[in-house]
Amino acid sequence: MEKTLSILKPDAVARNITGKVNERLEAAGLKIVAQKRLLLTKAQVGKFYEIHRDKAFYDSICEYMSSGPVVVQVFAGPNAVEVNRKTMGATNPANAEVGTIRRDFGESIERNVVHGSDSQENAVAEIAFFFSQMEIVE
Ligand code: ATP
Ligand code: MG
């Protein structure tokens, strides 16, 4: 079974729509095999989004992702990375396909409900960033 890291971002947690988002991912064939609620520091987010360090939105995304609680999750299933990305939709909700999580619930390109790993390689690294083996129950 492939695994991927998902984060319910502060906008989703604040609006109490985590169940609605989980429902979409579960309906797509994925299963939550690890989950925890965290209040990240700006430094922790900065490390997680390190690859975006040189982008114009880096400081803003670090502020935003540390502005309130998030729920970090590991989803498992066949082709988990690709299935998760498809179900989330494009980064900008305005460009995301109808029926995707970001199109249906996203407020803006920044406040776009969820994060999902973009490759199997990054999924492995991102899962290890947040979870120990003991916390993942398949
Ligand atoms: P994520 O990594 O969160 O799953 P993604 O892979 O679709 O999203 P990335 O390019 O990795 O998109 O950007 C990471 C996050 O940074 C986006 O989800 C969004 O919250 C924010 N972001 C991306 N581009 C912009 C932008 N142009 N302006 C503001 N925020 C942005
Ligand atoms: Mg990304």
Structure tokens at 64: 């935003």
**For residue 138, how far is its CA from the centre of ligand 2 (angstroms)?**
25
Contact 42, 135 (CB under 8 A): no
What dihedral do alpha carbons 130, 87, 101, 20 form, nearest 10°? -70
Establish whether residue 115 lines the binding site of ligand 1, counting it when its CB lies within 6 angstroms of any ligand atom: yes
Sign of CA pseudo-dihedral 47, 31, 15, 12: positive
Establish whether residue 129 lines the binding site of ligand 1, counting it when its CB lies within 6 angstroms of any ligand atom: no
Q: What is the pLDDT of residue 57?
A: 98
Phi-psi domain of 41 (left: phi exceeds 0; alpha: psi -120 through 50; beta: other): beta
pLDDT digits (tens, 9 = 90+) for 37-85: 999 999 999 999 999 999 999 999 999 999 999 999 999 999 999 999 9
pLDDT digits (tens, 9 = 90+) for 122-135: 999 999 999 999 99
Going by pLDDT thresholds of 50, 70 and 90, the confidence category of residue 3 is: very high
Q: Running DSSP on this structure, what letter comes out for residue 79? A: T
For the chain, the residue count is 138
The catalytic residues are: 115
Pocket test of ligand 1: the residue of 61, 67, 108 to mutate, having most ligand atoms within 8 Å of its CB, is 61
**Backbone phi and psi for residue 98, each to the nearest 5 degrees, phi listed first:** -60, 135
Biggest alpha carbon distance in the chain? 39
Q: What is the pLDDT of residue 85?
A: 98
